[in-house]
Structure 1
Amino acid sequence: MFTGIVEETGAVVDVRTDTEGKRIRVASSFADALDHGESISVSGACLTVEDVDGDGFELFLSRETLDRTYLDDLEPGDEVNLERAMPADGRFDGHLVQGHVDGTATVTRVERVGDDWTFGFSLPPSLARYVVEKGSITVDGISLTVADLTPEEFTVAIIPATYDLTNLSGKEPGDPVHVEVDVLAKYVERMVREGAVETPLLDGSQ
């Protein structure tokens, strides 16, 4: 489980392809604190640390991961957002983030507004019903709040700290991002659909 509070960006330093997927090596300031088998969020995708060596760590990207994300396009020099799994006794910020990428979107616009930025992202039709104005959403592993919403796009406000700490500072219109919707919305949808909860407003009793 993650919170969407990015710790730092790491640099991809090596990419290797094998018959079952890809292996990437990422340089990070906290690499020496990682252990084999530990979960880590890499731009919003929950991956497993396979090896740690000096100032970097290695990850395996399965074909399933490559098909669902844009990680197949990573090249040496690319920056990725990193967050270690939240410890049981850790302070909870952001919102509940699983690291399960629901889909990819593209940056539609980047606008400077005073000291802040407004980012627009395309809204995948399959995810639109889970996104609400002022609700939580995860973009490339970053916990954000939906500022505005249309059928085709959602926007978020980015403060300087988030802009400087994450890979959003290098994003331009047309670039891909990972999107994870609020898992609570999916649970509610399933419970309502299967009749697990009473919904007076839906059954016409009010």
Structure 2
Amino acid sequence: MFTGIIETLGEVAGIREEGTNLHFTIRSDISRELKIDQSVAHNGVCLTVVALSEGMHTVTAIAETLQKTNLGLLRPGSKVNLERCMLMNGRLDGHIVQGHVDQTAMCVRRSELEGSWEYRFRYNSATGNITVEKGSVCINGISLTVVGSEEGEFSVFIIPYTFEHTNLQEVNEGDTVNIEFDIIGKYVARLTARSASV
């Protein structure tokens, strides 16, 4: 389980294809502290560390992961948001994040305001996923508060610290991001749909 509070930015040092899998080698400040088999969220996707080298770690994404996320769009030099799994005795500073991306969304607007940024994202609402105003959403692994919510679209505001310390600084209109919707909201939506069909 994760919190959506990004620890550091990693950089893709290499990508290797093996069948339908992609192996990503990431250079980061926390790579030397990782262990084989450890779970780390990469742009919000929970991946297992399979190899370590000096200042770098390698993870593998299978075909299903590549189809549901933006990891297949990564290239050498791409910035990646990284978060290790939460400690059970730690504070939950963000919200409950599983590291299981539900789908991708496209940035349809990025506006620089006086001291903050507004991002608006559009996603396929046919999947049944929803947002609610003042609810939580995870974008590229970042726990954020929804400030505007419509069917198939939502917006968030970004403070300077988040902008400077995550790869949202590189997200522009037309770019694809990973979305994990709030787990509590997903259960409520499923139960409501089930009750309505009875």
Q: Same fold (TM over 0.5)?
A: yes
Describe the SS at the equivalent of 1:190: helix
Contact 2:129 2:181 in 1 (8 A): no
Matches within 5 A, 1:32-181: 32-126=32-126, 129-181=129-181
On the 8 A contact 2:130/2:152 being kept in 1, the answer is no
Distance 2:135 2:66 in 1: 28
User: Please, which runs of 5 or more residues in structure 2 have no aligned partner?
Assistant: none
User: Cα distance, 1:89 vs. partner?
Assistant: 1.2
Deviation at 1:150?
Answer: 2.5
Secondary structure of the 1:146 match is strand
Superposed CA deviations along residues 133-187 of structure 1, whole A, max 9, x for unmatched, are 1110000000001111223421100000100000001111000000010011122
TM-score, length of structure 1 as denominator length: 0.90
AA paired with 1:184?
I
Measure how far apart 1:127 and its partner are: 5.1
The runs of 5 or more residues in structure 1 that have no matched partner are: 196-201
> 1:92 Cα shift?
1.1
Equivalent-residue separation in structure 2 for 1:115 and 1:146 (angstroms): 18
Please state if 1:27 is matched with 2:27. yes
Give the paired residue count.
Answer: 196
Closer, same or farther: CA 69–194 of 1 in aligned 2, 3 Å: same
Residues 151 and 189 (structure 1), Cα distance of their counterparts in 2 relative to 1, 3 Å cut: closer
Structure whose alpha-carbon radius of gyration is higher? 1
Secondary structure at the counterpart of residue 163 of structure 1: helix
Whether the 8 Å CA contact 1:115–1:160 is kept in 2: the answer is yes
The DSSP-based 3-state class of the residue aligned with 2:121 is: strand
Report the CA distance between 1:124 and its aligned residue.
2.2
Alignment RMSD (CA, Å) = 1.5
Identity of aligned residues (%): 39
Range moving further from structure 2, 6-15 or 127-136: 127-136
